[in-house]
Each structure stands twice: as C-alpha cells, then as structure tokens.
Amino acid sequence: MLKELKLEDWKSFANATLYIDPLTLLIGSNASGKSNALDALLFLHRISQGIALFPAIAGDVNLPALRGGMEWVCRKPERMFRLTITVGSHQEQQDYRYELAVLVNGTRAEVYAEALALLTYSPRRKSPKEKLLFQTKQEEANAPGIPTYFSTGTQGWGKRHDLNRSHAILSQIETLNVKRETIEGAKLVLQQLQKIFVFDPIPSHMRTYSPLSERLLTDGSNIAGVLAGLEHEHKARVEATLTHYLKALPERDIKRVWTELVGKFQTDAMLYCEEGWEGQSMHEVDARGMSDGTLRYLAIVTALLTREPGSLLVIEEVDNGLHPSRTHVLLDMLKMLGKEHNIDILATTHNPALLDAAGVKMLPFIVVAHRDEATGYSRLTQLETLDQLPKLIAGGSLGSLSSRGRIEAALKREGV
C-alpha cells in the first residue's frame, strides 16, 4: 500500500509530506492546496500507465490536463518538481522508496532524476538500511537518453542503460536485462501507482444508459454498466450491499437497488431502485429520477465494492450532495467497506458535519492543508501534532472549530 507522498516544488508546495492511512481526511480552506496534493497522485497514476511526462501534465486529445497544466505544475519560479513515495513491500520489515524529479521547459517535460531504493528496517537501527536498485545520473543534459544505473550486487554505480527521458524510468524497466530484485521492486511500485483511483462522480453523467463495462470511469458515468456486467452471483451480492447502505441514507423506504440490461442488443444497462413510504405502495425509479446525493453515494459504494484490493480511492468533496444529518452514515460506510475490501481512502471535505461525525477518534487521520503565513506556500499538517489541540478540543467540536477558523488560527500561532 502507498504509505506517504512527499511533494517538493509541486504546484503551491515547497516541501510537504502527506501520510496515507486506511481512511485519511484532508481538510483546509479554499486554495489551501488540497486539490494540488491530489493532482500529484493523479500524475503518478498516469505515468504508471506508460503515459509520457508531458501529456501526463498537459493532457492530449484523450486526456484532460492537470489543473493549471504545464504553466503551474512547478512552484514559481522553479522549473523542476520532485515527488517521492513510500510503498509497502510484501515483506513486513521492508518498504520501497521511489523518487522522480521532472524538469519542465516550455513544451517539454523530462526526467531530471529518478531512483528506486529498497528500505529494510531493524529494531537495532534508528533509520532503515537503504539499497539503491536503480538511479539516474546527469552526464549529458542534451543527450537523447538519460544514463540509468542498475544495481548488480557489487560496489560502484552498477550496470548502465540509456533510457528515454520523456517517460518515467519505472515504466521502462520490465524489458531490460537487470536483476530480478529490481524488476520485482519496480513492478510492485508500478502496480501500486496503477491502483490509485482519483474518483469524481458526476450525477448528471449517471442518469443515462451506459454500456457494459469492466472498470468504473472516473466520473462514475458507467456505474450501471459495471454493475450489470458482474458475474450473476457477484452482481447479486454487490446489489444487496448497495441496497443495505442506501437504506440508511434517505427518509423514504428503499427496498432494492439493481441494474438491468436494456435495448434490443442487451449491451447497455440502467440503474434502478424500488422505493416508497411506510404504509404505502412501492414504485420503481431509474437513475433519471434519483437525487444527486443518492447517485454520488451509490457511485462511491460501487467503487469500494469493485476496485481491486490494495487500491487507493481518492475522492474530492466526498460528502457533496449529502444532507449534514447523513454524514455519519457516509463515514461509517467508508470505514467498513474500506476495511472489508482492503482499500485505502483519501478524501477531502469542507463539511463541519463530517468532522463532527469523525470525532476525536479520527484525529490521527485528519490532515490540514494550509498556507504558510510568511511565504504563501502550501503546507500539510497532521491535526494531532498541534500543541494547542487539547485546548482547541475543549472549546468545541471539530466541525465548529473548522467553521470558525480556529484550526487555521492555531496553525498560525504555532508557526506551523
């Protein structure tokens, strides 16, 4: 699983680290840097798919640009950013650290430096033992290939390969003649990046028929096609779970949520639910008649039920469209399904009601994005590290502290 992400000169960040837990809530005022942090995860996911660095930032015909595109991907006035992630390995006492520095120059984005290291922990050592599996070296800045050295198990830089600067080295390793240890490490990190799913369900996109699909799209538009395409018994279990979690959401009585194939060729599907009021007859409603909040909620549940184990589900404004009285339902669902399906969740919110539902038990897993008062750069601070936290908690609930700006004020006082 992805454990942490370090951002250096990425958008509004000078130097910040985002720690990722099974459920992490990212809070902060508008323009504090929350979306910028999520964009780094989206960028890493794209390059893990083999997409070149430039279109991964600027987009192309089939890919939207990151917010701000090439012009704003680096913190001004820098022309290079660096992202570093820590990923858990199959061995309990080992992690992988992957580092990528990208040089941005007008219409070009190239690898400036890249490295993968195996970290081994020991009770007798304060810091982990590091073994470099590969690293780049800037010898000829204008050369078409970037010299990359791979560990051979002996002293020295290792075996050299000149690789493509326009793509991440990580995605070029599989076909090389290098040590199996390096190939397996690179493969594991790639797979973890490929399991990042930045999800922005858009209700208006879910109200029409959708083709049968294997994987959920980032806007949730094919939710009906994904559910209808499941194997029969799996489909029945997923729809039963959807019904179970939707029942707690609205005031009306929900009997069933399901999908059906439609059309002459039975290649499209529609989402339905059976609803009514207690003591009255039930009636069927398709996705065109469902509320925005209901559709977003169903899409999030579907993502948790259909993503592969080990995924990281990233959701911006996770409670958008939900009534404040139902935020505890959303939070309980995220905790339960995330744990059951081994999926980590990173979600942003502005909603005081969701923070109240989270309560003090969630304090270790709440991260505040905020601006440095002196420089204006974005920072990420774990809420539990504030010295003034006990006094803050004594003065009100998390939601009220957030809505009154007390958290940001405490950050400024402590100079964090």
Name the 3-class secondary structure at 312.
strand
Last residue in a domain, options 306, 333, 364: 306
Which of 32, 21, 45, 344 has its CA nearest to residue 198?
Answer: 45
The whole-angstrom distance between residue 294's C-alpha and the CA centroid of its chain comes to 22
Give the pLDDT confidence score for residue 79 in this predicted structure.
95
Report if residue 328 sits inside a domain. no
Report if residue 244 sits inside a domain. yes
Report if residue 342 sits inside a domain. no
Give the pLDDT confidence score for residue 409 in this predicted structure.
85
Last residue in a domain, options 265, 288, 306: 306
Domain with 151 in it: 2-195
Report if residue 404 sits inside a domain. no
Last residue in a domain, options 171, 195, 219: 195
Give the pLDDT confidence score for residue 25 in this predicted structure.
97
- Whether residue 109 sits in one domain with residue 125: yes
Global pTM value:
0.94
Rounded CA-CA distance 158/135 in Å is: 9
Give the pLDDT confidence score for residue 416 in this predicted structure.
63
- Whether residue 129 sits in one domain with residue 25: yes
Question: Within 144-275, where are the H helices?
Answer: 180-194, 223-228, 232-247
Report if residue 294 sits inside a domain. yes
Residue 250: how many other CB atoms lie within 10 Å: 17
Give pLDDT tens digits along the chain (416 positions): 899 999 999 999 999 999 999 999 999 998 899 999 999 999 999 999 999 999 999 999 989 999 999 999 999 999 999 999 999 998 889 999 999 999 998 789 999 999 999 999 988 888 899 999 999 988 766 677 899 999 988 887 889 999 999 999 999 998 899 999 999 999 999 999 999 999 999 999 999 999 999 999 999 999 999 999 999 999 999 999 999 999 888 766 788 999 999 988 889 999 999 887 666 677 889 999 999 999 999 999 999 999 999 999 999 999 998 889 899 999 999 999 999 999 999 999 999 999 999 998 999 999 999 999 889 999 999 999 998 888 888 888 899 988 888 888 888 887 66
Give the pLDDT confidence score for residue 349 in this predicted structure.
94
Report if residue 47 sits inside a domain. yes
- Among all chains, which residue has been given the structure tokens 């930045």? 198
Q: How many domains does the chain have?
A: 2
Longest dimension (CA), the chain: 79
Residue 215: how many other CB atoms lie within 10 Å: 12
Which of 338, 416, 357 has its CA nearest to residue 384?
Answer: 416
